[in-house]
Structure 1
């Protein structure tokens, strides 16, 4: 936690309980009293409230890639300040805090195909609202460009009940082991009774239509589901995760494959354990898993 965040916490504590000692609070927060008063004076001269200071702080810390909903949730989680969503949006507009939006894929504008796989049907059929954990998993593979023209591939499995990334694997090749390695261990952790009702949904990629992958699904008794051909919207939740991940990571600064592994692993830990989600009522996936 940076100094500005600590100053904001001290200021919030004083506003809630004026009788508290500034020196004791600053000592507890490990900041100087003079530094706190200097920060407070600067904020006063700018005519900004604590909320404005924190909104700008969060926005710039997240490299202009978080919207009003995420900022509202972080204000509650990190600073115990509950600000109306409309007010957050108004203050962001006032200070010119515009979210960096990734470019839309031009190929998504074409009419989506409706061809189901000959053997495996689209059992999920875009029923993405799932309340129970280990009921529906969605999976896919995406490419990761890093360094100077290097490329790796990430396979991820997402639990729609908790929005948690329950399994991921990275490889230099989009081969079958990329999606197979570790999948058996993931399924072994699911109780047998749940496993019989579990749906694992993917696109019609060659890894998922291969005989070894389909045999693994059958051996664990899970229901395999596939999107319609060329229809990315049928697997929107995992596509959305990949999009947010690429928005928030700066993979070009990863010069080696090992650095890429560390960066992606750190992000997925952050996504599961620390990143609140609006659809989970401000909880993280790990917190949601404890209630499901």
Structure 2
């Protein structure tokens, strides 16, 4: 049954990853599958997995030429055309690619804010420092985009939004959810990367209307928002990779359960003395 599940999703996820998640050996899967795998199939499967990993590692900013450069530098010989074909088959498009309908100023560094956090992810009280970002979720034959907002005080996800397009509306909806849940606190800082959406005039105006101060990571430095990157890594390992969602509704329901029920209320967090974000906030409120 597990091998059949792997075979059904071999075009979406790497075999090594699925075998690891399902607790089976890759060699066993190959023995089970009818007929030996051709060298050409094996190479394409391996490179497809590498393309997906590289694409996500560089925050979806690399197209075929740069991904090919990265893989060749690591010793995986491949052409730009080969990588481009794989990306087309997998529906992978760089965020600055032609498929994204940004304005003519998309590539200019306007509306960049100073880095006010400088990797200080501690907070003395709720609603002092929030961090936000966007990640990619593969569902059957398309990408979904998940925007989240985290309160650094307890590491609680206080706002999130899921959609089929990566727009200013996506991140504004996540931020509005956070504001509705927590209210507006004077001096609140919201930190993000320098993504086009976070520099858009509509989003900047939205934060200004709510009296929220912006902070941004340095150019190309994912470690400046490491806490959110860590959350996304856990989300994908603990949920996305193991579920292989086949529809948007399935993914939305699963992400809701993970964030609102498991992560916020049950999952123990080392930064919270080993308790969940909600329990940490409740204990802090009682102690105060």
Q: Same fold, TM exceeding 0.5?
A: yes
Q: Is the partner of 1:273 in helix, strand or coil? A: coil
Deviations 1:60-112 (A, max 9, x none): xx978xxxxxxxxxxxxxxxxxxxxxxxxxxxxxxxxxxxxxx7976599xxx
Residues 1:132 and 1:63: Cα distance change in structure 2 (over 3 Å): farther
Q: How many residues align?
A: 184
What residue is the counterpart of 2:246 in the other structure?
255
Q: How does 1:202-281 map to 2 (within 5 A)?
A: 202-251=192-241, 253-269=244-260, 270-281=262-273
Per the alignment, residue 282 of structure 1 pairs with 274
TM-score (norm 2): 0.58
Residue 144 in 1 paired to residue 144 in 2? no
Residue 126 and residue 117 in structure 1: after superposition, are their counterparts in 2 closer, same or farther (change >3 A)? farther
Return the alpha-carbon distance in structure 1 between the equivalents of residues 58 and 249 of structure 2.
Answer: 32
| Match of residue 179 from structure 1 | 171
User: Using the alignment, how far apart are the partners of 2:198 and 2:58 within structure 1?
Assistant: 22
1:124 is paired with a residue whose SS is: coil
Unpaired runs of at least 5, structure 2:
1-20, 24-52, 60-69, 71-108
Give the C-alpha shift of residue 198 in structure 1: 0.6
Structure-1 separation of matches of 2:222 and 2:196: 15
Q: In 2, distance between residues paired with 1:272 and 1:200?
A: 19
Distance 1:239 1:117, change over 3 A: farther
CA 259–226 in structure 1, closer or farther in 2 if over 3 Å, else same: same
Say which SS state the counterpart of residue 181 (structure 1) adopts: helix
Please give the alpha-carbon distance, in whole angstroms, between the structure 1 residues aligned to 2:110 and 2:281.
Answer: 32
TM-score by structure 1 length?
Answer: 0.58
- The question of whether the paired residues in 1 share the 8 Å contact of 2:137 and 2:146 is answered with yes
User: Is this contact kept in 1: 2:115–2:215, CA < 8 A?
Assistant: yes
How far does residue 183 in structure 1 lie from its aligned partner after superposition? Answer: 2.5
SS in structure 1 opposite 2:214? strand
Contact 1:196 1:223 in 2 (8 A): no
Measure how far apart 1:189 and its partner are.
Answer: 4.7
- The answer to whether 1:128 aligns with 2:126 is no
Moved over 6 A (4+): 103-106
Deviations 1:221-278 (A, max 9, x none): 1111010111000000011000000011145521111001011111112100010112
Shift of 1:212: 0.7
Q: Distance in 2 between matches of 1:121 and 1:223?
A: 10
Quickly say closer, same or farther: Cα 1:191–1:132, change in 2 above 3 A: same
Aligned-pair CA distance for 1:146: 2.1
Distance of 1:119 and 1:278 partners within structure 2: 32
Change beyond 3 A, Cα 1:190–1:106: closer
* Cα distance in 2 for residues equivalent to 1:245 and 1:158: 14
1:63/1:129 CA distance change after superposition, 3 Å: farther
5+ long unaligned stretches in structure 1: 1-61, 65-102, 110-115
Mapping 1:1-292, distance limit 5 Å: 119-147=112-140, 149-181=141-173, 183-192=175-184, 195-251=185-241, 253-269=244-260, 270-290=262-282, 291-292=284-285
Deviation at 1:120, TM superposition (A): 1.1
SS at match of 1:142: strand
Deviation at 1:133, TM superposition (A): 1.1
